């Protein structure tokens, strides 16, 4: 039984909601930093922050690159026969992808709390938002999972 375009979009509605929620959380972190940031900033010495910032940049870049590979593996696993419905397996893929992407934005929040300026917060947030955009729910991927499920 093949699903119509409208049914597929309806099934992916919650996956889109997960992505919007991730973007909302990212925006909330930025707003929190602008409103309450100076009260909570720890103002660590610059030398210590440079080391931590450099490590977090490396981790974020590696995470950004690894995210495509992780999503590819998850999508391949989704296409294997399973008792779980295709929708729940694809939602888990989207959820994990968005959580990993969100983590890059949290690095900027951490650096801001340690005493860095808003530029670092924005760089990590944009990287996180870009990852969320690139790995958004995709109708073709979901159809591929549905098709592989029907052939088993």
DSSP codes joined into one string, 47-65: HHHHHHHHHHHHHHHHHHH
Binned at pLDDT 50, 70 and 90, residue 148 comes out as confident
**Residue 3 predicted with pLDDT over 90:** no
CA distance 21 to 48: 33
How many CB atoms neighbour CB 18 within 10 A?
17
**18 and 98 Cβ atoms separated by less than 8 Å:** yes
User: What are the residues whose beta carbons fall under 8 Å from the beta carbon of 114, sequence distance 6 or more?
Assistant: 41, 42, 44, 49, 52
Q: Taking the complete model, does pTM exceed 0.75, yes or no?
A: yes
Q: What's the rounded Cα separation, in Å, for the pair 105 and 26?
A: 6
Residue 150 has pLDDT above 80, yes or no: no
Whether residue 67 contacts residue 101, with contact meaning beta carbons closer than 8 Å, is answered with yes
Tens digits of per-residue pLDDT, 21-61? 999 999 999 999 999 988 999 999 999 999 999 999 999 99
Nearest residue to 52 via CA among 110, 105, 101: 110
Place of tokens 């968005």: 98
> For the segment 52-102, what is each residue's pLDDT rounded down to a tens digit?
999 999 999 999 999 999 999 999 999 998 889 999 999 999 999 999 999
């Amino acid at each position: 039984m093949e699903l119509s375009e409208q049914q597929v979009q309806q099934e992916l509605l919650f996956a889109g909601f997960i992505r919007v929620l991730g973007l909302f959380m990212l925006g909330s972190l930025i707003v929190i930093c602008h409103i309450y940031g100076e009260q909570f900033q720890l103002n660590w010495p610059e030398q210590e922050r440079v080391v931590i910032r450099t490590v977090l940049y490396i981790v974020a870049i590696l995470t950004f690159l690894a995210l495509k590979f992780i999503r590819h593996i998850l999508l391949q696993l989704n296409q294997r026969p399973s008792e779980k419905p295709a929708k729940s397996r694809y939602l888990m893929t989207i959820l994990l992808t968005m959580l990993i992407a969100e983590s890059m934005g949290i690095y900027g929040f951490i650096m801001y709390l340690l005493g860095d300026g808003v530029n670092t917060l924005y760089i990590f947030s944009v990287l996180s938002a870009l990852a969320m955009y690139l790995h958004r729910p995709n109708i073709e991927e979901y159809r591929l999972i549905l098709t592989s499920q029907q052939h088993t």
